[in-house]
Amino acid sequence: MGSYKMFGIFNRKFKTEETGPPEDVVNAFTKYSDGGKEMSADQLLRFLVEFQGQADCTLSHAQDIMKQLHHLSDPNFLSINDFCYFLVNEQLNPPISHQIHQDMDSPLSHYFIYTGHNSYLTGNQLSSDCSDAPIIEALQNGVRVIELDIWPNSSGDDVNVLHGRTLTTPVKLLKCLSSIKEHAFVASEYPVVITLEDHLTPELQAKVADMVTQTFGEALFVPDSEGIKQLKSPNSMKKRFIISTKPPKEYLQAKKVDKDETNSPQKVKDGDEGAWGKELTSLKLGTTRDKQDDDDDDDDDKSNLKGAPEYRRLIAIHAGKGKGGLDDWLKVDPDKVRRLSLSEPELEKAVATHGKAIVRFTQQNILRVYPKGIRFDSSNYNPLIAWTHGAQMVAFNMQGYGRSLWLMHGMFRANGGCGYIKKPDFLLKAGPDNEIFDPETALPPKTKLKVTLYTGEGWYNDFKDTHYDSYSPPDFYARIGIAGVEADTVMKKTKTQEDTWIPNWNEEFEFPLTIPELALLRVEVHEYDMSEKDDFGGQTCLPVSELRSGIRAVPLHSKTGDKYNSVKVLMRFEFV
């Protein structure tokens, strides 16, 4: 019954205040109840179709809604309070659909894919523990691409997962693989891609091939031949595992491997100043190259003449940059699909000179973007640059909480949260004159999103009386805006509602959008503090293309992305 409180039905902490429903809510009830004091299922249906824009709604659906409002004294009619209760119920009246509704029969390269970076790290990039726990959590949240850095253990007879040349403590590869198998399809049944950053000898590559084959069995996708011409679709690969890494090379002569360059974290911890120690020093000084993606480097320190053929056979999506520069990296081979990985700075430089070439490349091939090497704190970057250029795998540190990760969470709430989002048509094919989409071209607004923020509630349920202020109710304000292409990106702010647990803003905002397909609606609530930094009150990001028109209950999340039990805002969305 907590949702009644938004409209002043119950007393609130510190003081009582009577606040009626927003005028738009009262007017809608009056209109669709034909001026009466009660609304029938037929009238509710008309409201859902005409006002909420749910054209496919049926009378049966309206009746089901009324049945789920268990407190009704008469299950055949809604009072104004019942109507309000329905509107602020996020289960019955969510801002976006929770159903998978996009075409899932196109090649994988046609989708944005929910992608993790260094998926095994529990914290920072230098000294945190490696574990299968963050991998499990990522999969449970719908992440579909898991990255594992694989190295020899200290004795050279087994394979560990860890961030190489740092003080991160290792976890065994087999444990990670087993956890991936167990949790892969809890949140989504669409395929899981495992990207391997491989630092192994051929003997250990053969061991990995055996581990992978034994763990995943028939669920492992093994390509018929080397060099896939076109990737399969998410639908055709349900509950399958896909391996992507740089294929092992053949060598004309053996290279001697310094023992200090094998993966022995214990040696480093004991003060060994070999290659590891030097690399760690450079990391601390911020001078290291962007080394996370060694699977695309041309150099290699493997000592044997030939990579294990059984390992090579399992690689479904080949990674690699080639010998040349950007022109060579972005060449499209009509007979072969591959994956290119670029660091965050590499992408920024590439889009300045090769923007359309990147878009063309991603129409058939996979582009993976990963954080720059100096993000030791596991922070993230603006994903919109990569998405705007068609990058499918925008790899994020899922433990790196902050606004960038909020955008990632928001993007992948789309399409039922299944981890695959169909890219807009303009990123998938050439235009009528065979032109390629140019993200740098200024475009006129395609639509305008009108957002009304009415009110908020739930903080009094989820937080202590004194969480924000010791002697008075909180002073809430909201920031609302768009994250998208540069022309669409903006943030606006409401007035502060003082001394109330249930702020009533009743403010309207308009956002012209040139590329609504890639826009995210940002909502943040803060509590104003005159003497210190303002306190955090909740946030969410929602894909604009998925917003349902009408008056909607919008749940808010914590800084770490966890949905609050009760905190929500009531908003209206209109496309004009």
- Nearest Cα residue to 286 out of 192, 372, 204: 372
What is the three-class DSSP state of 318?
A: strand
Distance CA 363, CA 423 (A): 10
Residue pair 366/340 in contact (Cβ under 8 Å)? The answer is yes
98 is an active site residue? no
Strands 171-172 and 159-161 turn out to be antiparallel
Catalytic residue, candidates 117, 318, 354, 389: 117
Alpha helices in 247-343 (DSSP H): 265-269, 275-285, 309-313, 326-329
Residue 545, class by beta-carbon neighbours within 10 Å (0-12 exposed, 13-18 middle, 19+ buried)? middle
110 is an active site residue? no
- Nearest Cα residue to 521 out of 476, 462, 566, 478: 478
Catalytic residue, candidates 163, 199, 318, 409: 163
Distance CA 63, CA 70 (A): 12
Q: How far is CA 328 from CA 74, 337, 353, 388, 430, in A?
A: 70, 14, 14, 21, 21
Distance CA 412, CA 139 (A): 13
- Nearest Cα residue to 200 out of 180, 177, 173: 173
Give 239-274 as a 3 state SS string.
CCEEEEECCCCECCCCCCCCHHHCCCHHHHHCCCCC
Q: Which residues contact 466 (CB under 8 A, 6 or more apart)?
A: none
The helix or strand, by DSSP H or E, that contains position 43, with its residue range, turns out to be helix 41-46
Q: Which residues are catalytic?
A: 117, 163
